[in-house]
Amino acid sequence: MRAVIQRVLSAAVRVDGRVTGAIEAGYLVLLGVARGDSEKDAEALSAKICKLRLFEDPPGKMNLSLTDVGGSVLVVSQFTLLARCNKGNRPSFDLAEGPEEALRLCHVFVDRLKRTGVPVEEGVFGADMKVSLVNDGPVTIILDSRDPEKAPGDRTAQEAR
């Protein structure tokens, strides 16, 4: 499971012109589910995101977590985070989980976030979404539930199985 976390002053997602989720200060989380991901990945990633210290304390250091500042999360599913572009110019999405299992694991991820008490809003899985945000910093972090020491593009197809 891969997540791009952006610290935001505000973010919103619209589907067919209707706002389906909106937050003030917090994180916009773009979430991609990889083939072979499990509930364990969803639980670990959601726990890590809640504990990330990306907000500044009074001296200006990133020492405060989402819960410390009373922030919210907007989760937007995005299978394109699993794209591979190492052959040719057209991305391959063979590392992405199929829609049924990806939807289930997105729900698990959101449920685990909600259990921490953090307010969570969502996009619409599989929809053509329009996402707007006001970056704060900007601060953008990429997390992968499989191996945090590897860069997101380093995971091979074998590891995704």
Domain residue spans in the chain?
Answer: 2-145
| pLDDT tens digit sequence for 67-85 | 999 999 999 999 999 999 9
Helix (H) or strand (E) holding 112: helix 99-115
Catalytic residue among 80, 93, 116, 156: 80
Alpha carbons 120 and 127: distance in angstroms, whole number: 18
53, two tokens: 């210290």
From the options 3.20.20.70, 3.30.70.940, 3.30.420.130, 3.50.80.10, give the CATH code of 2-145: 3.50.80.10
Average pLDDT, the chain: 91
- Reply yes or no on whether 93 is catalytic: no
Listed residue (54, 60, 59, 61) closest to 9, CA to CA: 54
Alpha carbons 115 and 31: distance in angstroms, whole number: 18
Asked if residues 78 and 30 have their Cβ atoms less than 8 Å apart, the reply is yes
- Reply yes or no on whether 158 is catalytic: no
Kindly state the greatest CA–CA separation across the chain. 48
Listed residue (79, 74, 75) closest to 126, CA to CA: 79
- Reply yes or no on whether 78 is catalytic: yes
pLDDT by 10s per residue, the chain, length 161: 999 999 999 999 999 999 999 999 999 999 999 999 999 999 999 999 999 999 999 999 999 999 999 999 999 999 999 999 988 899 999 999 999 999 999 999 999 999 999 999 999 999 999 999 999 999 999 999 986 544 444 444 344 43
